[in-house]
Amino acid sequence: EAVRCYQCGSDGDGPNEDNCGAYIKFDKRSHIAIECNSEESHMPGSFCMKLLAATITRDGRWRQVIRRCASVADTGVTGVYNWGVYENGIYWEECYCSEDECNGASFNKFSKVMLVLSLGIALLWQF
């Protein structure tokens, strides 16, 4: 039996929509977790992944969230939470987990502070 994960991406949201939890708390009631080895899965895998990136997008948004199944973690292990800032000032967070629906959690308050800080750095970087 495969792990069940939430599957969505902020890049699929329309104007004034936030279906994947980029700005508001992720609503588990309006999403159905899918089995990672089913045909519904955009990417087959054996665990769940959640990624947040703070970057300026075409539509003026600066937060992007992706929730999906994964087969290989960048860290090589699950149950890991990582974050960092790329040289261009883009802040990122990624979490890998192996329990059903574990990628439905919201990001922590520390990350919100880091997002604001890295956005400020990114804006200063441009000037």
User: How do beta strands 63-70 and 47-54 pair?
Assistant: antiparallel
What is the rounded average pLDDT of the residues 55-80?
72
What is the rounded average pLDDT of the residues 47-70?
81
Regarding predicted confidence, which is higher, 6 or 55? 6
What does the angle CA 100 – CA 101 – CA 107 come to, to the nearest 5 degrees?
135
Report whether 8 contacts 19 (CB < 8 A): yes
The two structure tokens encoding residue 82:
């990582």
pLDDT above 70 for 126: no
Torsion angle (degrees, nearest 10) of CA 25, 29, 30, 35: 110
- Label residue 92 by pLDDT band (50, 70, 90): confident
Residue that has been written with the tokens 């089913």 in this structure: 38
Q: What confidence score (pLDDT) does residue 101 get?
A: 94
- Label residue 1 by pLDDT band (50, 70, 90): low
**How far apart are alpha carbons 105 and 48 in whole angstroms?**
11
- Label residue 54 by pLDDT band (50, 70, 90): confident
Q: Which of 83, 21, 75, 72 is nearest to 47 (CA)?
A: 72
**pLDDT tens track for 23-53:** 888 989 889 999 998 988 888 888 899 999 8
